[in-house]
Structure 1
Amino acid sequence: MAVVMTFGWPEITPELYDTVRKKVRWEEEPPDGCLMHVAWFAADGFHVLDIWESEEHFGRFIATRIEPVLKGELGVESDPEPEFFPLHRRFVAPGVSGAA
């Protein structure tokens, strides 16, 4: 069952996010099971909302592609606390596609 995943992560800056995105290349090489990714910055820091095929898909992506770069190469010490919710419905407006 598809899930909505969301978290906030105050330690992540726009520069750090862009560095990880370029190194991991998830837009060029999409992770298995990721259906949508939205990221933004607010007064309280970095936020993400994703749709995944399952929690397990998200966990594998974090363990195999994100953590080696974010924690291994870049030294980030904190962790987000993701929350998962069953996806009830997804709508994509006609003509909307692609990254960025």
Structure 2
Amino acid sequence: MTFSWPELTPDLYDAVRQRVRWEEDSPDGCVLHAAWFVSNGLNVLDIWESEDHFKRFIADRVAPVLKGELGVQSDPEPQFFPLHRRFIAPGISGGGA
């Protein structure tokens, strides 16, 4: 799954991450999450066990914080693609910087 979200700044992303605590309490079905910022805002690449897992996580945990607490008005337009292959380099685990 990938998306870009121009409205989300690094400060908003970090606020959501701290409140939702997905790194400490991993969402069901999440295999990998990577996020970065460029001129068009937040970009995300996730691997989920299913599209439904992603949608439940957004509805149950992310949306109440983003929409309710932080007042974000826009929505990303995620695109889902079947995973052909994944590789995890030896010795790599945990969150990044």
Q: TM-score normalised by the shorter chain: which range applies? A: over 0.9
The residue number in structure 1 matching 2:6 is 10
Deviation at 1:48, TM superposition (A): 0.2
Q: Quote the Cα distance in structure 1 between the aligned partners of 2:67 and 2:35.
A: 19
Gaps of 5+ in 2: none
The equivalent position to 2:16 in structure 1, one of 15, 20, 23, is 20
Give the secondary structure class of the aligned counterpart of 1:16.
Answer: helix
Question: Deviating runs (4+, > 6 A) in structure 1?
Answer: none
The equivalent position to 2:32 in structure 1, one of 32, 36, 39, is 36
Deviations 1:49-79 (CA, angstroms, capped at 9, x unpaired):
0000000000000000000000011000000
Deviation at 1:45, TM superposition (A): 1.1
Identity percentage of aligned residues? 72
The one of the two structures with greater contact order (alpha-carbon pairs below 8 A, sep at least 6) is 1
Q: Quote the Cα distance in structure 2 between the aligned partners of 1:23 and 1:58.
A: 18
Q: Given the two structures, how large is their TM-score scaled by the length of structure 1?
A: 0.95
Q: Quote the Cα distance in structure 1 between the aligned partners of 2:91 and 2:80.
A: 28
